[in-house]
Chain A
């Protein structure tokens, strides 16, 4: 078992190098010169100016030379300078990460709660109307295009009804709370500013729902299946036979055990959700990693594209590593990947 964990740990750096390499290669395939954003459209015809800029940005080196430079910079935690924002990519990602993290965690929270509830209801009322309704809800959530859903919800709840605030993380004419974690809800609470807390929390509702609905489907299906497993397990029969009330059987034993796979799914889906946020953030003017990715792609800003891919890959590798190792630690029956 210890060997498995060690093996898993040992392989992670190699996977990371693979990710970086592939990201680097793809970005160098992009058939456009990033220099236009540096020297301007008109100077692109001026060979001298272009050559100087190319040298300054280290683009005159061979592909392999650039790769070596990139890797050695990366080893020092430097992902290069973004062609678009002109800031360091690490700094850009650092600035935007909290926005995405806050949205993603809220979406996970929403997806987990609704998923567990729906899954539990579906399992207990198997093949009855509630089961079918929860299945329909879950499947719709994973079938609806998020970019469309976001537009429709905004137009109904913000533009027409005015019940919920519009796009963006902060209300207008409001400053962000003092920066502690970068998560506005947490920072607002830390600053003791409850009205700000509500204001920023409300802004999370629509995007978190749009992002989390898909997760609801995943979780509810899992919970349903796991609970069905549990409902027929020996100990449940025993508990029932002992005369425990059905409610305490379900909530005390069945649901608690059925949550086990949910945790793994949630841990793993963090990395996935994080980047599924791409479309959601675009629609909700959410200045996180997702909209950074879209902007970078639109501007063919490849240091930034690389940075996002590497961050996403790293997060996914870490979450799956933790989840797998946890499982292996607890359940010795698990072997091998």
Chain B
């Protein structure tokens, strides 16, 4: 489930308002804070995590205490440390998915929009077909076909996600293509590749950025969902979905699922806050 965002068209973007002006909004600051926290965790967790995430740190299934803030799991590993290390799996995975989908989707979309004709038709029909699949089902089927592992999760999610950006970029390209300066550039014989790179892609950047921010959280959720279903990360990695799966099998030891659940919630909420405030900021309707 996600918050629907109506992808912005370039025409809507308020001219001359730099993106950092959005940062003054409290939601934005909150989102940034949360994401910043997790980025710091990813970089520095080795230096201060209370325990080794892969080795037993005490008796098994200990309830939370001052030694183990979120208790220990079935193998006696410290849940808090594992949840912290989990960020090293979930966030880079999601980042990989987003970067690849944006690259692949945007390129195909821009080409389709710019070229038009049969190229456009083919790309857009493939988009239609992929988008017509229920996303989690397609991801499950692809993940099942490829086998477990986070790399395969990335591939599955990219296959599910790229058409969104293809459509977005195609729409942007169509809108920009007819502007005077582009038409002028075409008429004087500037090569299409250059027009795309110089004139179209930069203008489409803002909506892509906003969409990517919103999607980031959703990718984190979907990754964890696949892992929860046993189609994503493999043990012993402290991936959050895997941890919740372990917790769900020991539900009376509620603390096992608590930390990873809160971790996912905070990350996704952080990105949603960021995306939401960015969208509001660039949405003319909220300027009144």
Contacts and interface: CB of A to CB of B under 8 A. Distances in A.
Interface of A: 11, 14-15, 18-19, 22-23, 26-27, 29-31, 135, 138-148, 151-152, 155, 211, 213-215, 217-218, 221-222, 225, 228-229, 232, 265, 271-272, 274-276, 278-279, 282, 293-294, 297-298, 300, 305, 308-309, 312-313, 316-317, 337
Given A143-B265, A293-B140, A22 B129 contact: yes
A228 B287 CA distance: 11
Nearest to B31: A139
A309 B131 CA distance: 12
Contacts of A23: 133, 141
Interface in B230-272: 230-231, 241, 244, 247-248, 251, 254, 257, 260-261, 264-265, 268-269, 272
Given A155-B254, A217-B1, A135 B133 contact: no
A18 B141 contact: no
Which of A14, A139, A225, A317 has the largest number of chain B CB atoms within 10 A? Answer: A139
Interface string B270-288: 0011001000000101101
A317 B254 CA distance: 41
Interface string B122-159: 00111011101111111011101111000000000000
A114 B74 CA distance: 40
B134 A305 contact: no
A239 B181 CA distance: 44
Contacts of B27: 135
A26 B251 contact: no
Interface stretch (B46-54, B76-84, B98-106, B221-229): B221-229
23 contacts: A18-B126, A23-B141, A26-B141, A139-B3, A142-B217, A143-B268, A144-B264, A145-B244, A145-B268, A148-B244, A148-B260, A148-B265, A213-B1, A214-B1, A217-B3, A221-B4, A228-B285, A232-B288, A293-B137, A297-B144, A309-B138, A309-B141, A312-B134
A31 B145 contact: yes
B145 to A, nearest CB: 4
A264 to B, nearest CB: 10
Interface string B6-37: 00000000000000000000010000000000
Contacts of B225: 145-147, 279
Contact of B269 (A19, A30, A140, A214): A140
A284 B276 CA distance: 31
Contact of B2 (A140, A142, A155, A308): A142
A30 B144 contact: yes
Given A275-B136, A278-B136, A278-B140, 10 more contacts: A23-B141, A31-B145, A145-B265, A147-B225, A151-B257, A225-B285, A225-B286, A228-B285, A279-B229, A317-B132
B261 A148 contact: yes
Nearest to A18: B129
Which of B144, B147, B229 has the largest number of chain A CB atoms within 10 A? Answer: B144
Interface residues of B, number: 54
Contact of A143 (B126, B136, B217, B260): B217
B2 A309 contact: no
Nearest to A155: B251
Which of B4, B264, B288 has the largest number of chain A CB atoms within 10 A? Answer: B4
B229 to A, nearest CB: 6
B265 A144 contact: yes
Given A151-B248, A297-B144, A229 B272 contact: no
Given A141-B1, A155-B251, A297-B141, A31 B147 contact: yes
A145 B129 contact: no
B221 A15 contact: no
Contact of B224 (A141, A145, A265, A275): A145
A151 B258 CA distance: 11
Contacts of A300: 144
Contacts of A316: 132-134
Given A142-B2, A151-B251, A228-B288, A297 B134 contact: no
Contact of B248 (A147, A217, A228, A294): A147
Given A145-B225, A309-B133, A309-B134, A18 B125 contact: yes
Nearest to A317: B132
B145 A26 contact: yes
Contacts of B144: 30, 297, 300, 305
A19 B129 contact: yes
B117 to A, nearest CB: 15
